[in-house]
Amino acid sequence: MGDDYAAYLEERSARVVRLRSWIAAELGGADAVTLEFGCGHGHFLAGYAAERPEEWCVGLDLRTRRIRLAEAKARKRGLDRTRFVKAEAMEFLDALEGGPRVGRAFMLFPDPWPKKRHRKHRMLQAAFLARLADLAAPGACLHFRTDHAENFAWALEQVAEHPRWTLRPDAPWPHETGTYFQEVTGGRYQSFTAQASK
Ligand SMILES: C[S@@+](CC[C@H](N)C(=O)[O-])C[C@H]1O[C@@H](n2cnc3c(N)ncnc32)[C@H](O)[C@@H]1O
The confidence score (pLDDT) of residue 181 equals: 76
Alpha-carbon distances of 88 from 1, 37, 97, 153, 170, rounded to whole Å: 23, 8, 15, 23, 30
Containing domain of residue 108, as a range? Answer: 3-196
For ligand 1, atom 13, name the residue with the nearest CA: 38
Q: What is the pLDDT along the chain (198 residues), one digit of tens a residue?
A: 788 999 999 999 999 999 999 999 999 889 999 999 999 999 999 999 999 999 999 999 999 999 999 999 999 999 999 999 999 999 999 999 999 999 999 999 999 999 999 999 999 999 999 999 999 999 999 999 999 999 999 999 999 999 999 999 999 999 988 777 777 777 789 999 999 997
Whichever domain contains 91, its CATH number is 3.40.50.150
Using a 6 Å CB cutoff, which residues line ligand 1?
37-40, 60-63, 66, 88-89, 108-111, 123, 179-182
With beta carbons less than 8 A apart as the criterion, state whether 141 and 194 touch. yes
Q: Identify which of 105, 92, 91, 85 has the alpha carbon closest to the alpha carbon of residue 33.
A: 105
For ligand 1, atom 24, name the residue with the nearest CA: 38
CA of 63 to the centre of ligand 1 (A): 8
CA of 143 to the centre of ligand 1 (A): 15
This prediction's pTM: 0.96
Q: Is 3 among the catalytic positions? A: no
C-beta neighbour count of 158 within 10 angstroms: 17
Task: Identify any residues that bridge with 106 across adjacent strands, giving them in sequence order.
Answer: 36, 143
With beta carbons less than 8 A apart as the criterion, state whether 111 and 154 touch. no
Total tally of structural domains belonging to the chain: 1
Strands (E) located in the chain: 32-37, 57-61, 82-86, 101-108, 136-146, 165-167, 190-196
The confidence score (pLDDT) of residue 96 equals: 98
Pairing, β 136-146 against β 190-196: antiparallel
CA of 109 to the centre of ligand 1 (A): 7
The confidence score (pLDDT) of residue 28 equals: 85
The confidence score (pLDDT) of residue 118 equals: 94
The CA-CA-CA angle for residues 8, 94, 19, to 5°, reads 80
